[in-house]
Amino acid sequence: MGDRSIENKVLALKEKLSGAENVVVLTGAGISAESGVPTFRGEGGLWRTYRATDLATPEAFENDPKLVWEFYGWRRQLLAPLDPNPGHYALAELERRIPRFTLITQNIDGLHQKAGSANILELHGNLWWVRCTRCGSLTEDRTVPLPELPRCGSCRGLLRPHVVWFGEMLEPKILDQAYEAIRDCGVMLVVGTSGTVQPAASMGVIARKQGATVAEVNLDPTPYSGAYDISISGKAGEILPRLL
Ligand code: BV8
Ligand code: ZN
């Protein structure tokens, strides 16, 4: 079957999207892989080399804020020169064509914004924003890399990356908006995520339960592949432009 079946699935999905009024897309690290951003679990993945699960936690920041800022400073240096890839641009174009469109991302790299997407829900925060641990002030900051212990401009409190760490709650407002978008959508795409991290991982099956057609575009099979209507195995940068 090989390409034939992929071609058929892409055509079926393209057909579904062309008539869709309300589309939701959930993305993960896989959509940024072709831009040069390491994923979490793949070869050379962040969690393999830097055991990010040990560093992306409030405890780690409590114990050794310098080490955690070193990790995020390294990711800033890595990300700063990188650009969106055809997968990001295809989603930005899709948003322009579909009356109601919501992009929910687990990524913190800001590449969807760079590609021109507008209606974005960043479930896990953003690497280019910092938050004061004392007064809570939120500032966009593109310094690369940040000083080892960046301080708040107004209260001198210690700044932290404005990202959601393991064991931390997602922002309720953002999570509510995501579930709201999922409730009304007719089609949902799940792109480039291994379906490991909750609550994002179960959003596709929730959409399906509520009657949406759910399609996955991912390099490898995931625990949810069998639960979706369409599961296309391929690179986001190659598959997504073929849906336009
Ligand atoms: C929460 C920001 C309520 C930081 C991230 C035990 C203790 C404590 C918590 C838990 C626990 N057990 C479960 C939990 C809940 C936990 C969780 O799910 N843990 C997992 C590891 C088991 N979740 C949480 O803690 C969340 N909060 O639940 O709050 C709560 C409160 C207290 C206690 C309990 C619950 C918060 C989760 C947010 C964590 N922050 N990121 C940072 O980035 O540094 S998560 C991190 O993983 C990224 O955001 C990333 O997006 C996300 C998911 O990874 P993926 O995006 O899927 O990336 P991955 O590498 O895994 O997969 C890439 C895929 O792409 C692969 O399938 C590959 O095949 C594919 N691919 C590769 N190339 C391509 C491609 N596809 C297409 N094209 C390509 N070219
Ligand atoms: Zn402050």
Question: How far is Cα 236 from Cα 243, in angstroms, rounded to an integer?
Answer: 11
Q: Is the CB of 124 under 6 A from ligand 1?
A: yes
Q: Is the CB of 38 under 6 A from ligand 1?
A: no
Each residue's pLDDT tens digit, 123-151: 999 999 999 999 999 999 999 988 889 99
pLDDT at 1: 43
pLDDT at 61: 97
Catalytic residue selected from 88, 112, 124, 162: 124
pLDDT at 3: 62
Question: How far is Cα 87 from Cα 89, in angstroms, rounded to an integer?
Answer: 5
Query: Residue 236 CA: which ligand 1 atom is closest?
Result: 78
B/e letters for 182-220, b = 16+ CB within 10 Å, e = fewer, are: beebbbbbbbbbbbebeebbebbbbbbeeebbbbbbbbe
Q: What is the DSSP letter of 195?
A: S
pLDDT at 39: 87
pLDDT at 145: 82
Q: Is 124 a catalytic residue?
A: yes
Each residue's pLDDT tens digit, 222-242: 999 999 999 999 999 999 999
Kindly report the protein residue whose alpha carbon is nearest to atom 74 of ligand 1.
30
Choose which residue among 198, 218, 235 to substitute to test ligand 1 binding: the one with the highest number of ligand atoms within 8 A of its C-beta: 198
| CATH 3.40.50.1220 domain range(s) in the chain | 2-37+84-124+170-243
Instruction: Identify the CATH homologous superfamily for domain 38-81+126-163.
Output: SIR2/SIRT2 'Small Domain' (3.30.1600.10)
Cα–Cα distances in angstroms (integers) from residue 147 to residues 68, 151, 160, in the given order: 12, 9, 12
List the chain residues with pLDDT less than 50: 1
pLDDT at 233: 96
Binding residue per annotation — 56?
A: no
Q: Which CATH number is 2-37+84-124+170-243 given?
A: 3.40.50.1220
Question: How far is Cα 65 from Cα 160, in angstroms, rounded to an integer?
Answer: 8
| CATH 3.30.1600.10 domain range(s) in the chain | 38-81+126-163
pTM value is 0.96
